[in-house]
Amino acid sequence: MLILFSMIFFSLNIKSWWLAQNFFFFFFFFMYFKIPMFNYFLNISYLFGMDMFSYLMFMLGTWIISLVYISSLNLKNIYLNYFNFLMFIFLIIFYFCFFSNNFIMFYIFYEINLIPVIILIYGWGYQYERFKAGFYLFIYMIFFSLPFFSCLLNLNNTVFLFMYYFDYLNNLNFYYYLFLMMIFLVKMPLFLFHIWLPKAHVEAPICGSMILAGIMLKLGGFGIYHILMLVFKVNLNLNYFFISLCLIGMMVLSLVCFFQSDLKILIAYSSVVHMGLVIIGFLTLNNWGYFGSLILMFGHGLCSSGLFCLSNICYLRFKSRSLFLNKGLINIYPFLSFWWFLLCSSNMSFPPSFNLFGELFLLISLMIWLDYFYLLYFLIMILMFLYSLYLYLYTQYGKLFFNMNYLVYINLTEYLLLFMHWVPLNLIFLIMELFC
């Protein structure tokens, strides 16, 4: 914390792009040596504490912010000091969110997280519609956060002073349960409350898309994990509704992916489908679901972020994200086509991708929870495979839109960026025991 707070004061005076980026890499490896080798608590105190879940999510956030600097080279000369300041603010907010033991403190920083995201979309976004996208994001979050806060104050129980307090709230009714859960389900997002996500992704710059997909959605999963410990008994009666809604929504949105012509919207809907799996994993209330959700959140953060980087690389060349213009790329960028294949295969959970292990765990958890639901899950997995294949084939093959004005070669930095997304995503299964 001292390192982060001291760097905030220097961030406005840092004139070097790479100096700030190297600091995040340094901080990542600094945290790496504090790895807890068990799934219990570490460094616990009145305000802060760490378990494996919070540690892994924070490490993912630090890694994604490190890669943001490599992906955003086109923003290098646009308000550099303010950009550095925002990135340090993000890291401090994630630190307080993932390591806080106090529900009130977690809630405060969970909501403060909105401010830098909206500044990022408004300040470095693309079209004029970014103001509408930021408004959607703000309204969705605030509308569901105020009932949550009123529940915290109304219950007035010591349980909310400590997030790791393993006791159930028996005096809850349906409305309490809904208000306590919806703030996190909207952030994930749950089907029918997902409209803000595609809009925010389309209008955000590449750094905003990476932070949204890589870390912000994981805050919702982290919150659900802690709230479910408290509302366990009510959830036993009501999770049937949410799991059914998630399964139907995942199937509908998988079909919607086939009708998208914008690369970013397609990848954003893919994120919603993967987060639906994570919600199902938590609501099945067993160890398979818990570990599967943790694994899939980690894998999705890297995979989705990498796909957004690929779409941005194509956008910088063709000045369009349309699938009708980004065609035949294998003819001019064969090496980039190779990276499209690797990341699309990871998105369709091809071995040895980390997504595969997460989806297998979640399949087992769903089969334990209810027998015949796994048939619908199989259908969704087939659709996920098909839209990832559709994304790859449609962009790499077909008649080339050959516009020489935009034909710029891919530089080594961009290949390095894709490499640093793909390697942890496909090799981290070698230390799977950390996640289980």
Contacts of 25-34 with CB under 8 Å at 24 or more apart are: 25/66, 27/3, 27/62, 27/91, 28/59, 28/62, 28/63, 28/66, 30/3, 31/55, 31/58, 31/59, 31/62, 32/59
Compute the distance between CA of residue 168 and CA of residue 171 in angstroms, rounded to an integer. 9
pLDDT of 86:
92
Other beta carbons within 10 Å of 178: 18
Mean pLDDT over each residue of the chain, to the nearest integer: 87
pLDDT of 221:
93
Which of 218, 224, 418 is CA-nearest to residue 301? 218
pLDDT single digits (tens) 346-356: 999 988 899 99
Task: State how many domains the chain has.
Answer: 1
Residue 157 has pLDDT above 70, yes or no: no
Residue 406 has pLDDT above 70, yes or no: no
Secondary structure letter of residue 432 according to DSSP: G
pLDDT of 243:
92
Q: What would the mean pLDDT of 380-398 be, rounded to a whole number?
A: 92
In a domain, 7, yes or no: no
In a domain, 180, yes or no: yes
Q: What would the mean pLDDT of 381-403 be, rounded to a whole number?
A: 88
Residue 183 has pLDDT above 70, yes or no: yes
Residue 280 has pLDDT above 60, yes or no: yes
Which of 198, 73, 191 is CA-nearest to residue 129? 198
Q: What would the mean pLDDT of 125-138 be, rounded to a whole number?
A: 87
In a domain, 4, yes or no: no
Compute the distance between CA of residue 126 and CA of residue 18 in angstroms, rounded to an integer. 24
Compute the distance between CA of residue 68 and CA of residue 417 in angstroms, rounded to an integer. 9
pLDDT band (50, 70, 90) for residue 420: very high
pLDDT single digits (tens) 203-261: 899 999 999 999 999 999 999 988 887 788 888 888 889 999 999 999 999 999 999 98
Which of 109, 32, 99 is CA-nearest to residue 63? 32
Compute the distance between CA of residue 179 and CA of residue 149 in angstroms, rounded to an integer. 9
pLDDT of 435:
76
In a domain, 90, yes or no: no
Distances (CA, A) of 288 to 228, 268, 272, 361: 15, 26, 21, 5
Q: What would the mean pLDDT of 166-178 be, rounded to a whole number?
A: 75
Q: Which has the higher per-residue pLDDT, 309 or 3? A: 309
Q: What would the mean pLDDT of 23-34 be, rounded to a whole number?
A: 87
Is the distance from CB of 284 to CB of 243 less than 8 angstroms? yes
* Helices and strands in the chain, H and E counts: 19, 0
pLDDT of 265:
93
Compute the distance between CA of residue 344 and CA of residue 163 in angstroms, rounded to an integer. 37
pLDDT of 401:
72
In a domain, 42, yes or no: yes
Q: Which domain holds residue 236?
A: 34-53+96-434
Residue 5: both structure tokens together:
């707070």
In a domain, 251, yes or no: yes
Q: Which has the higher per-residue pLDDT, 15 or 37? A: 15
DSSP assignment of 89-131 equals HHHHHHHHHHHB--HHHHHHHHHHTHHHHHHHHHHH-SSTTHH
Q: What would the mean pLDDT of 7-11 be, rounded to a whole number?
A: 81
Residue 313 has pLDDT above 80, yes or no: yes
Compute the distance between CA of residue 68 and CA of residue 24 in angstroms, rounded to an integer. 10
Is the distance from CB of 91 to CB of 30 less than 8 angstroms? no
In a domain, 174, yes or no: yes
Compute the distance between CA of residue 39 and CA of residue 252 in angstroms, rounded to an integer. 36
pLDDT of 383:
94
pLDDT band (50, 70, 90) for residue 170: low
pLDDT of 163:
66
Q: Phi and psi dihedrals of 262, rounded to 5? A: -105, 130
Provide the CA 161 distance to its chain's centre, in angstroms.
Answer: 27
Q: Which residues, in sequence order, are CB contacts of 53 under 8 Å at separation 6+?
A: 39, 222, 225, 294
Residue 159 has pLDDT above 60, yes or no: no
In a domain, 294, yes or no: yes
pLDDT of 5:
85
Q: Identify the H or E element spanning 365.
A: helix 354-369
Q: What would the mean pLDDT of 1-15 be, rounded to a whole number?
A: 82
